[in-house]
Amino acid sequence: MTAADERPTYPPELRTLLDGRWRHIRDLAREQLRGERFAPVADLSTEEHRERVLGQLKTIAATEMSSYGFSADYGGQDDVGGSVVAFEMLVCDLSLMVKVGVQWGLFGGAIQALGTQRHHAAYLHRLMSLDLPGCFAMTETGHGSDVQGLRTTAEYDPGTEEFVVTTPDEAARKDYIGNAARDGRMAVVFARLITQGTDHGVHALLVPIRTADDSPAPGVRIGDCGRKAGLNGVDNGRLWFDGVRVPREALLNRYGDVAPDGTYSSPIESDNRRFFTMLGTLVRGRISVAGGAGSATKAALAIAVKYAQVRRQFDRPDTGEEVALLDYRAHQRRLLPALARTYALHFAQEELVGTLHERHSGEPAGDERGQRELEARAAGLKALATWHATDTIQTCREACGGAGYLEENRLPQLKADTDVFTTFEGDNTVLLQLVARGLITNYRQEFGELDPLGMARFAAGQFLGAVIERTAARSLIERLVSAAPGRGDESDLYDRGWQLELLEDREKHVLDGLARRLRRAGSSGSEAFDAFNDAQDHVLAAGRAHMERVVLEAFVAAIDRCTDQETRRLLDRVCDLFVLSAVEEDRAWFLEHERLTATRAKTVTQQVNRLCAELRPHAEALVDTFGFPDEWLAAPIALGAEAERRREQRAAAQG
């Protein structure tokens, strides 16, 4: 009997449901990203790893996977959702995932979204084919989270009709820029546009950074960020510009342009609003990172669950047989609630990608509020999904013991590579505050940075109480919530309406309380800042509460799409485990606010234990359904090595 024979089967509809709308792209990735070229390899030097990933990138450039996100007019496929899903399938090496993201998501995506026809015609073909490898040069050493604080300048010179790009000092050098240290030829550079003596705020321009012979372009200095914790297949670097001249047409001019004489024009009057509109078009990056984090989490769970299924330690006193790790309640508790949350986040991601796709296919819809809501949700899901990845992959490493520490078993690489996901494309702590701001202002506030004074004023003047807007399967959820039994010890913990109502109620209460605190802050900037700062844990809690409710709604909607009864029953239990373990984790809040009695809170803990026991036999099927080929998991402990040793041990003991 081989390890493969021991695998339980899973309901086929579960895979169909998980693969979702872009299942053809998932299947394509499963077929194409195979063989030696895409196998994970441990212990490469930085240079070897970069070389390998560039080779993989070239292979992908030759497939349709490089073209999903671009205009059909220029050889693309106008499939924004598909581009996110394709990105998320690159689990064989997350360096490749990120390099793909840099080239076709960030660099290509910025040209597509911020450029106009002249840029599309000149560059889209070349960048899809990798004839033009490029960078997205936004972050500076001195300003990462606070993008409006960027200090690189692009000053227009009407005499030559050129922009002069300058790094004023060391803090303004571009930093952590993917593709910069080795492969990039051109960069989308974010810089303050200055013309006729006026600073119009941050805009993006195309700046060549390397010549055909691979030396830095004149006036450009290039540094290497060196070794990182992970993602060493990506060549992150630094860029300095010393009065680099680029033609007027290098400006990505969809949202702001400069006439030959230096006159500035823009369809959006306010600098602030224009800047955030530009950033908003790049929302796909955050959604992609959330998806990538999800994939890494799934891979880690697949490895840890499969190992725990065959790994045995300590005898049962009654049988004398060693006990499989996954039969220990403590082990179930580490892995199964995390697995349930991974399912929940998967469905929320699918929902979000769908919304992105509808909104960003062709010309974006004019509905600004919807766009801001999408941005907030992308920020929130990115934060939740990447923190979940960090926690879960860590847990999986520990759950595999010493074997989990060996590179060959992939967990170290998954951990090290994803570690920066909580930081890049927006620091999670900043992102959750963005979510809270959107909620407090009901997405109506003028675009702007996280200004405590603005929030305090809004809370004082216009906030009329938190509004719960359902984000998925609205009428179903409405129905479930209205049918929910009232509060109190009698109602069923497994009632979906009660669960939904519990999370809605928490969100509403946290948000209303936050608004009250901000309102009391007074109206001076100093008081507003201090009040906001004092309430920062409250702000983060508001963002988190909102997102957990949104995630639950997506899970409920997914179960509703499911027509197979067996699959539905299984998913119902997974959803219960997600909700009840989330409630258990935050039960202090529910107790403090008298949403749960002490007795009921203890019952929640008991039921989480019960659900762990109940789902334990399905654990391997639940990770198999992710559909990662063995060669992507690549960890011997998850693919038969441990099972084989057990058999040898049994044979030796009997012989």
Locate 389 and state its tokens: 């990845």
Q: Which is nearer to a second copy, 46 or 71 (CB)?
A: 46
Locate 18 and state its tokens: 């998980």
Locate 233 and state its tokens: 């297949």
Q: Which is nearer to a second copy, 394 or 491 (CB)?
A: 394
Q: What is each CA distance from 559 to 267, 472, 553, 568, in whole angstroms?
A: 43, 12, 10, 6
Question: Does residue 283 contact residue 374 with C-beta atoms inside 8 Å?
Answer: yes
Locate 339 and state its tokens: 């697995």
At residue 245, the 3 state secondary structure works out as strand
Instruction: Give min distance, CB of 143 to a second copy, in A.
Output: 7
CA proximity to 99, closest of 156, 140, 54: 54
Q: Which is nearer to a second copy, 313 or 563 (CB)?
A: 313
CA proximity to 487, closest of 604, 597, 598: 597
Instruction: Give min distance, CB of 285 to a second copy, in A.
Output: 15
Q: Which is nearer to a second copy, 9 or 654 (CB)?
A: 654
Q: Which is nearer to a second copy, 74 or 589 (CB)?
A: 589
Q: Which is nearer to a second copy, 5 or 314 (CB)?
A: 314
Within 8 A by CB and 6+ apart from 541, the residues are 510, 589
Instruction: Give min distance, CB of 423 to a second copy, in A.
Output: 5
Q: Which is nearer to a second copy, 80 or 98 (CB)?
A: 98
Three-state SS sequence of 346-372? HHHHHHHHHHHHHHHCCCCCCCHHHHH
At residue 73, the 3 state secondary structure works out as helix
Instruction: Give min distance, CB of 300 to a second copy, in A.
Output: 13
Instruction: Give min distance, CB of 27 to a second copy, in A.
Output: 32
Within 8 A by CB and 6+ apart from 139, the residues are 147, 174, 175, 176, 177
Q: Which is nearer to a second copy, 601 or 621 (CB)?
A: 601
Instruction: Give min distance, CB of 546 to a second copy, in A.
Output: 17
Instruction: Give min distance, CB of 431 to a second copy, in A.
Output: 12
Q: Which is nearer to a second copy, 5 or 318 (CB)?
A: 318
Within 8 A by CB and 6+ apart from 407, the residues are 42, 43, 413
Q: Are strands 186-195 and 153-157 parallel, antiparallel or unpaired?
A: parallel
For residues 250 and 240, what is the distance between their CA atoms, to the nearest angstrom? 18
Instruction: Give min distance, CB of 396 to a second copy, in A.
Output: 12
Three-state SS sequence of 571-595? HHHHHHHHHHHHHHHCHHHHHHCCC
Q: Which is nearer to a second copy, 25 or 518 (CB)?
A: 518
Contacts of 351-356 with C-beta under 8 Å, sequence gap 24+, read: 351/471, 351/472, 351/554, 351/557, 352/287, 352/290, 352/377, 352/378, 352/381, 353/22, 353/81, 353/84, 353/85, 353/287, 353/291, 354/21, 354/81, 356/80, 356/81, 356/84, 356/283, 356/284, 356/287
Instruction: Give min distance, CB of 298 to a second copy, in A.
Output: 20
Sign of the torsion formed by the C-alpha atoms of 31, 32, 33 and 36: positive
For residues 255 and 192, what is the distance between their CA atoms, to the nearest angstrom? 14
Instruction: Give min distance, CB of 257 to a second copy, in A.
Output: 28
Q: Which is nearer to a second copy, 197 or 260 (CB)?
A: 197
Strand partners, 242: 166
Q: Which is nearer to a second copy, 521 or 554 (CB)?
A: 521
Instruction: Give min distance, CB of 207 to a second copy, in A.
Output: 20
Instruction: Give min distance, CB of 331 to a second copy, in A.
Output: 8
Instruction: Give min distance, CB of 302 to a second copy, in A.
Output: 18
Q: Which is nearer to a second copy, 257 or 451 (CB)?
A: 451
Instruction: Give min distance, CB of 420 to a second copy, in A.
Output: 5
Q: Which is nearer to a second copy, 94 or 217 (CB)?
A: 94
Q: Which is nearer to a second copy, 354 or 412 (CB)?
A: 412
Question: Does residue 607 contact residue 580 with C-beta atoms inside 8 Å?
Answer: yes
**Which class for 268: exposed (0-12), middle (13-18), buried (19 or more C-beta within 10 A)?**
middle
For residues 603 and 623, what is the distance between their CA atoms, to the nearest angstrom? 28
Length of the chain: 655
Question: Does residue 300 contact residue 416 with C-beta atoms inside 8 Å?
Answer: no
Instruction: Give min distance, CB of 119 to a second copy, in A.
Output: 28
